[in-house]
Amino acid sequence: MLIDLDQATHAMSGGKAAPLARLLRAGMPVPPGFVVPTYAYEHAIADVDVGGAARCGAAVARTLVEQSMLAPTTAAEIPAALARIAGPSTDGYVAVRSSATTEDGNGATAAGQHDTVLGVRGTDQVLDAVRRCWASLWSDRAVAYRRRQPAGPGAAPPSIAVVVQRLVDADVAGVMFTGPATRIEASWGLGEGVVSGHVTPDSWWVTDGAVAHRALGSKLTRIDRAGAQVVTGQVPPADRDRLCLTDQDVLGLDRIGHQIQQLLGRPHDVEWAIADGQIWILQARPITADLPARPMASSGPAQAGAIFTGTPAGAGVAEGPVRVVLGPDDFDRVKPGDVLVCRTTDPAWTPLFSIVAAVVTENGGLLSHAAIVAREHGLPAVLAVPDATTTLPEGATARVDGGSGRVVMTSC
């Protein structure tokens, strides 16, 4: 049986759906949706030894789960549920998001570790997306992330629900961290570019109801829905050179952020989108690691001799040999204690975070999934250092200060 999103609970609907249900019941602007509950996943894998398969490798477990089927009685409910949440201008497209019992908790977010599928339409595509979300519970990155989290005695095995919501075709989207001061990062189009770290977003800092800091990012690309496809396109030069939010937009987000914090009882990491002037809340998870105390004075890097600066994203200092990684084919070259230098990090790179001493990227924002996970791992991280993969010499020794945003070459 499917569950309306506003009735979701953690036990049956996972860590992503439950806070959204509370926000919906409080009248917050959350897109309508429904949940394929955890017991649907558990019923589908009842005859599959997923744990045993996982001991043979995460890929084996993932393949078995991908082949599992939603119970016919539950699948039969999907067409009517899709009709209930369809909007007048969405053409029936939805977002399908994982909601695992092990994500979005007070101590660990699992940010970006499970799948989201955008631009989905119709029952068959929803069923395919549900199986993909289920299978992501057993991806290499999710399994590696769970290994680092303490599991108490008698802890239940991980389970997963799936949230299906009306898709917001965003003009602008991003992430907001609430607290005594509100930090906001945003870029054009869907929020995937911001949370994935593929763009260096515009950023704002709001204190006492006033914008205290704003910085222009390098928004070279944007992600949008084109029919059933999610495509990446170039941002026109004029839009790269202007902030994607007005101060009025920023203060509106700040007000909603304070309402969410008051309702949920602690500072939250909030994913949001704006379409046709309407703010929508897509996700709210507890903040699990402190941000650096202050924003950078400028979003661009400065180089003085062997010193590079970027966005401070994870406090602490670490030193080690530079390891330039351009993609998964380079993972085998990474050794314990290396300084990982890359263009951006994808959630699939999470297993490397348990090996490296620090992270330096060319793109990305303080609130991206990779930055969140780096802070949870206690890794010094400096983001948005342009040309880092070509200017930081492979094998040289670098000291990374994640609190100040400085990367110092100590030997070449």
- The verdict on whether 369 is a catalytic residue reads yes
| SS3 of residue 342 by DSSP | strand
Structure tokens at 290: 């402190």
**3-class SS letters over 177-224:** ECCCEEEEEEEEECCHHHHCCCCECEEEEEECCEEEEEECCECCEEEE
267 in Cβ contact with 175 (< 8 Å): no
In 3D space, the residue among 40, 218, 255 whose CA is nearest the CA of residue 127 turns out to be 40
400 in Cβ contact with 383 (< 8 Å): no
Residue whose structure tokens are 């660990």: 108
How remote is the C-alpha of 107 from its chain's centroid? 16
Structure tokens at 158: 């991980």
Four-CA torsion 175, 351, 336, 373, nearest 10 degrees: 20
In 3D space, the residue among 345, 372, 357 whose CA is nearest the CA of residue 110 turns out to be 372
Name the DSSP class of 110.
-
Name the DSSP class of 391.
H
36 in Cβ contact with 17 (< 8 Å): no
Residue type, 329: D
Other residues' Cβ atoms within 10 Å of the Cβ of residue 360 = 26
Beta strands in 74-159 (DSSP E): 94-100, 116-120
Non-local CB neighbours of 109 within 8 Å, separated by 6+ positions: 103, 269, 285, 286, 288, 372, 373, 376
* Residue in 10, 114, 198, 369 annotated catalytic: 369
Residue whose structure tokens are 């060319």: 362
Which residues are marked as active site? 369
